[in-house]
Chains A and B, each alone.
Chain A
Amino acid sequence: MNTTDLQTPLKRARGLGSAKDGTHHFVVQRITALALVPLALWVIWLALALVHADYAHARAIVHHPFAAIWLTAFVIATFWHAQLGLQVVIEDYVRTRWLEVTAQLAVKLFCAAGALASVLSIVRIALG
């Protein structure tokens, strides 16, 4: 500590505390987790149905309204949950500030792009 520093400990600590949105992060992580239990089980079943499907059959399976809706819910919950989880992992382990910010940004952009690409693909299959 710099002994010539005239700031009080309180002054130094101010503004470095909680961002006041940790609870929201916690709650959304749990909600998406809860949603993902039935959604993921259904996606495993869907994947097993797709194992031997040719293109037309695979498309027909995803084209079904029920499948399209559940798959959309699955990808949104998945990318949201992944972003929240990866955020915590980066916060915990990446110590270099510029690397942390870059990683957080990359994760957010990847998850947003992944969700968009997946949803638009499902919509195209569902309506096509």
Chain B
Amino acid sequence: MPTARPLSPHLQVYRWQLTMVLSIIHRMTGVALAAGTILLIALLLALAAGPDAFQTVRAFCSSWFGMLLLFGWSWALCFHMFNGIRHLAWDIGWGFEIPRAYATGWTVVASSLVMTALIWACVFAQGGAA
């Protein structure tokens, strides 16, 4: 492509703002969750296959690396779900005003953290993961 034409201002000239950060995180969590479906497939296949396969997946999930992935995915799911609801509200034309876009944005951040904490509180209330 010839690049003689002037380029429009790009990412590096903007000050980072909540709205753009959340937009980027929404995509990143979406991609991460898509990768996370591999564990979902593995779990369902193992559950259908038999106790040995199930035990293998379980052992992976309760390893420190498995726990780290599960923790990351639980937050990614909460964030993507809450921010997805924010997007659905925009789709029906609600919440475009700048103060409201910021308010809903911070609400999404707080809700995702609270919900992730609640999920893991439930896990540890049952006596630790797996």
Distance in Å: Cβ of B69 to nearest Cβ of chain A:
13
Q: Is the CB of A48 within 8 A of B37?
A: no
Whose C-beta in chain B lies nearest to the C-beta of A119?
B44
A-B pair count, CB < 8 Å, reads: 80
Q: Is B88 an interface residue (CB 8 A)?
A: yes
Q: Is the CB of B123 within 8 A of A122?
A: no
Known: A34-B88, A37-B84, A52-B127. A86 touches B45 (CB 8 A): no
- 1/0 per residue, CB under 8 A from A, across B74-118: the answer is 100100010011011001000000000000000000000000000
Known: A51-B130, A89-B31. A117 touches B122 (CB 8 A): no
Q: Is the CB of A37 within 8 A of B130?
A: no
Distance in Å: Cβ of A54 to nearest Cβ of chain B:
8
Residues of A within 8 A of B123 (CB): 48, 51
Residues of B within 8 A of A1 (CB): 2
Chain B, interface residues (CB within 8 Å), range: 20 to 34
Q: Is B63 an interface residue (CB 8 A)?
A: no
Q: Is B8 an interface residue (CB 8 A)?
A: no
Main SS class of interface, B = helix
Distance in Å: Cβ of B77 to nearest Cβ of chain A:
6
Whose C-beta in chain B lies nearest to the C-beta of A78?
B37
* Chain A, range 26-62, C-beta contacts under 8 Å to B: 30, 33-34, 36-37, 40-41, 44, 48, 51-52, 55, 58-59, 62
**Which of B30, B31, B41, B48 is in CB contact (< 8 Å) with A124?**
B48
User: How many angstroms from the CA of A12 to the CA of B122 in the assembled complex?
Assistant: 60
Known: A48-B119, A55-B55. A118 touches B47 (CB 8 A): no
Q: Is the CB of B77 within 8 A of A44?
A: yes
Q: Is the CB of A40 within 8 A of B55?
A: no
Q: Is B51 an interface residue (CB 8 A)?
A: yes
User: How many angstroms from the CA of A33 to the CA of B51 in the assembled complex?
Assistant: 34
Q: Is B129 an interface residue (CB 8 A)?
A: yes
- 1/0 per residue, CB under 8 A from A, across B50-73: the answer is 110011000000000000000000
Q: Is A69 an interface residue (CB 8 A)?
A: no
User: How many angstroms from the CA of A79 to the CA of B45 in the assembled complex?
Assistant: 16
Whose C-beta in chain A lies nearest to the C-beta of B55?
A55
